[in-house]
Amino acid sequence: MESLSLQIYGSKVLRMKGATVEEFDGELADFLDRMVGTMIIEEGVGLAAPQVGVSKQVAVVNSEPENEKTLIKMINPIIVSTSDETGSFEEGCLSVPGIRGNVIRPVAIEIHYQDETGEKHELKAEGLLARVIQHEVDHLNGVLFVDRLSIAKKMLIKPKLRSFSDGSGR
Rounded to a whole number of angstroms, the minimum distance from the CB of residue 85 to Co ion is: 23
Residue 93 or 103 having the CB closest to Co ion: 93
Residue 12 C-beta: closest distance to Co ion, Å: 16
**CB 82, min distance to Co ion, A:** 19
Give min distance, CB of 44 to Co ion, in A: 8
Residue 53 or 118 having the CB closest to Co ion = 53
Give CA torsion, residues 148, 146, 71, 67, to 10 deg.
-110
Whether 22 is a known active-site residue: answer no
Residue nearest Co ion by beta-carbon distance: 93
- In the bound state with Co ion, the residue whose beta carbon lies nearer, of 25 and 64, is 64
Q: Which of 91, 110, 116, 136 is catalytic?
A: 136
Q: What is the 3-state secondary structure (H, E, C) of the chain?
A: CCCCCCCCCCCHHHHCCCECCCCCCHHHHHHHHHHHHHHHHCCCCEEEHHHHCCCECEEEECCCCCCHHHCEEEEEEEEEEECCCEEEEEECCCCCCCCCEEEEEECEEEEEEECCCCCEEEEEEEHHHHHHHHHHHHHHCCCCHHHHCCHHHHHHHHHHHHHHHCCCCC
- Contacts with Co ion by CB under 5 A lie at 93
The residue (of 27 and 42) whose beta carbon lies closer to Co ion is 42
Which residues are catalytic, by number? 136
